[in-house]
Structure 1
Amino acid sequence: MQIGKTVALASLRSLMEVEAPAPGDRLPTERRLADMIGCSRETLRTALATLESEGDIWRRVGQGTFRGRAPIGQSVRDTILLEATTPVDLMDARCLLEPQVAAAAANRCEKDDIDHLRRRVLEGRAARDRAACERADDAFHQAVAQVTRNPVLIALLRHFSNTRCRAVWQREWDRTYRRVGVDEFRQLHSDQHHAIVEAIVRGDGPAAYREMAQHLHSVRQAMGSTTEVDSIIQYP
């Protein structure tokens, strides 16, 4: 027996605390949510519409449903940007932006953020294959952006995430894992993620900047890029 709209809405609110606890987290698909709650797709969509009107979630065709208010950067024509982005372009943008994001996170980190960040590190250490490693890595970098509480930065890091799903990036990433090996790459990433988080937890912006810059530099080297980032590793 399927449940009604009021119960479905209450169940959806509770489910969000488990499946999408932080702003910017992606909710499961409508099909999965309906199965988990025990309601029809029509009832679920009514509940989702209520949450969206209250600013608790935002939705975008082809991307999914996310917790929190829609980011200011949502109007950017993502498809055009994605198609024009190469792996070199992406790593260049990440090396320029993400160290600054880490520094901002260190300045804005609150007590409730600490466990969330440390869980992302533990998920990386627990990953057992390439796909799990990449999901954990992606979740970590988005979590750092979420700590800044800046919707523009969150949207930009989500754009980076979408770019990493493209076939051209995946081919380059596959070559990287074949050269380095999943276990070695996972351990290195997890250690570097840990160092970034601890700098953020200490409120040490310069250290968070340097740790993130060094981390991305090592990723760039593993991918065989010849472009240097040493000049931006020092906190400006």
Structure 2
Amino acid sequence: MGRRVHEVLADLRQVIKQLAPVSGDRLPPERELRGILGCSRETLRTCYATLENEGKIWRHVGQGTFRGRRPVHMPVRDTLLVEGATPPDLMYARIILEPQVAAEAAMKADASDIVHLRKKVAEGRAASDRAACELADDAFHRAIAETTRNPVLIGFLTYLSGTRRRVAWQRQWDRTYREIAADEFQTIHSDQHDLVVDAISAADTIAAASAMKEHLETIQAAMRKGRG
């Protein structure tokens, strides 16, 4: 029968004090630690997760596990950045960046792009529930990025949209959606989407950026209300 996690964790704390006494010291390899502690890989990694959350250790893929908190100059993998993002973090980033994406779309859009964007707005208006609304909204914003024909901007918007699938975002969005009637939500947001497309169709970069900023600030305000 394997050792219990809390027992292994207590022993691991002592092993770290002995074998990695100074912050920044590298811990022995996992295989060696499993032998010392008499535990499975799964148990050791569960203990690692606890210590990492406490700031007692940090890990760097390909280099090992170290005592102490992660140095501020060490890069963090993009997946961890997404996991660590809060809904306010996401909205702040979107308000900074997406208006410029809309302005770029206004410079690049052709007639077929405008038809495509109008179709995305219509899909948002026709969405039947919260999940459908969110999918349609995500598709609209990605379509604007695609209109720029810039793979970096497209990739970046796709990256941001990944955060919206996290539990923290969904929980906050559920609270926000309860504050706003479904028809009101669809009407306001779809009307604002239309204004963004109007500006893109007119090749008006300033109006496109302004319309997008106003739209995102409306979402931000609704989410703040939902937290209240």
In structure 2, the residue corresponding to 1:178 is in which secondary structure?
helix
Q: Distance in 1 between matches of 2:110 and 2:180?
A: 36
Q: Distance in 2 between matches of 1:158 and 1:178?
A: 26
Instruction: Give the number of the structure whose alpha-carbon radius of gyration is greater.
Output: 2
Q: In structure 2, list runs of 5 or more residues that go unmatched.
A: 1-75
Within 5 A, what are the aligned runs for 1:153-164? 153-164=153-164
Q: Is the 8 A contact 1:78 1:159 kept in 2?
A: no
Q: Is the 8 A contact 1:121 1:190 kept in 2?
A: yes
Q: Which amino acid aligns with 2:128?
A: R
Q: How many residues align?
A: 151
Q: Which amino acid aligns with 1:106?
A: A
Q: Distance in 2 between matches of 1:116 and 1:177?
A: 27
Q: Which amino acid aligns with 1:222?
A: A
Report what 2:23 is aligned to: none
Q: Which amino acid aligns with 2:196?
A: I
Report what 1:115 is aligned to: 115
Q: Distance in 2 between matches of 1:77 and 1:189?
A: 33
Q: Distance in 2 between matches of 1:175 and 1:148?
A: 33
1:189 equivalenced with 2:189 (yes/no): yes
1:208 equivalenced with 2:213 (yes/no): no
Q: Distance in 2 between matches of 1:137 and 1:113?
A: 17
1:179 to partner: Cα distance? 0.7
Q: In structure 1, list runs of 5 or more residues that go unmatched.
A: 1-75, 226-236
Report what 2:9 is aligned to: none
Report what 2:95 is aligned to: 95
Within 5 A, what are the aligned runs for 1:59-208? 77-208=77-208
Deviations 1:67-95 (A, max 9, x none): xxxxxxxxx94421211211111000000
1:222 to partner: Cα distance? 0.4
In structure 2, the residue corresponding to 1:224 is in which secondary structure?
helix
Q: Distance in 2 between matches of 1:105 and 1:148?
A: 5
Runs of 4+ off more than 2 Å: none
TM-score by length of 1: 0.62
Q: Distance in 2 between matches of 1:171 and 1:78?
A: 22
Q: Distance in 2 between matches of 1:163 and 1:82?
A: 6
Deviations 1:88-119 (A, max 9, x none): 11000000000000000001111221111000
In structure 2, the residue corresponding to 1:216 is in which secondary structure?
helix
Deviations 1:129-166 (A, max 9, x none): 00000000000000000000111110110011110000
Q: Which amino acid aligns with 2:201?
A: V
Q: Distance in 1 between matches of 2:197 and 2:101?
A: 12
Q: Which amino acid aligns with 1:107?
A: M
Change (3 A) 1:199 1:157: same
1:182 to partner: Cα distance? 1.5
Q: Which amino acid aligns with 1:218?
A: T
Q: Which amino acid aligns with 2:220?
A: R
Deviations 1:194-223 (A, max 9, x none): 000010011000000100000001000000
Q: Distance in 2 between matches of 1:135 and 1:170?
A: 12
Q: Distance in 2 between matches of 1:199 and 1:209?
A: 9
Q: Distance in 1 between matches of 2:172 and 2:95?
A: 17
Q: Distance in 2 between matches of 1:162 and 1:222?
A: 21
Q: Distance in 1 between matches of 2:111 and 2:186?
A: 27
